[in-house]
Chains A and B, each alone.
Chain A
């Protein structure tokens, strides 16, 4: 069965500092991987996705993520955080084929301080 672990429940960074959110997945084949962001009271917005090819994926809002098969990781990064990035971030893994079942991690809440 597929699973996702986001080991950090809450992260606080200063505005302008770099950010890395961790995500580890478990899946038997090549996974489909996603990062979503959720602002308070809002739905989920897709930041980026990985299906195949280049392991460094660029997304919206200046985010990027790197797929590392050897470490079963798909960490999200941003070089310089803005106050508007404060939100909750979810990593998800999907199985290829069929209806594509997607399993979500428990999320990481990002706080940005001035």
Chain B
């Protein structure tokens, strides 16, 4: 019953540092997503991967890169962290062309000093 697993759960970075957020799903879903959640703004899509081998920008992609490593894993990289990227990051997955909802991980709480 793992579903969507995100690592790490918490991280503190200094401005300019880089890091990669990991996401893995065990539901054999085709589509995977990265969102950020900020107070009063709901969830905003950063990048998504409709299927293995493809990635596309969402609403707020600047400052981020992604890699769809295989069908299970979708990572989010911050090359040079900025305080504006302090947020809670959620990964989600979904079966493409289905009427099923997205499944979410528990989030990564990232603070950039």
- Measured CB to CB, the residues of A under 8 A from B are 4, 9, 32, 34, 36, 42-46, 49, 51, 90, 94, 97-107
Contacts and interface: CB of A to CB of B under 8 A. Distances in A.
Chain B: interface size category: 20 to 34
Q: At the interface, is chain B mostly helix, strand, loop or mixed?
A: loop
Contacts, number: 52
A45 B105 CA distance: 10
B102 A99 contact: no
Interface in B68-113: 90, 94, 96-99, 101-102, 104-107
Contacts of B40: 9, 106-107
A100 B41 contact: no
Given A32-B99, A51-B99, A99-B48, A90 B42 contact: yes
A102 B42 CA distance: 12
Interface of B: 31, 33, 35, 40-45, 48, 50-51, 90, 94, 96-99, 101-102, 104-107
A16 B70 CA distance: 48
A61 B32 CA distance: 27
23 contacts: A32-B99, A34-B101, A42-B106, A42-B107, A43-B104, A43-B106, A44-B104, A46-B101, A51-B99, A94-B101, A98-B50, A99-B31, A99-B48, A99-B50, A99-B51, A100-B31, A101-B48, A102-B33, A104-B35, A104-B42, A105-B42, A106-B42, A107-B42
User: Which residue among A4, A34, A107 has the maximum number of chain B CB atoms within 10 Å of its CB?
Assistant: A107
Nearest to A105: B42
**Minimum-distance CB pairs A-B, first 8:** A99-B50, A104-B42, A104-B43, A106-B42, A43-B106, A44-B104, A43-B104, A51-B99
A107 to B, nearest CB: 5
Nearest to A46: B101
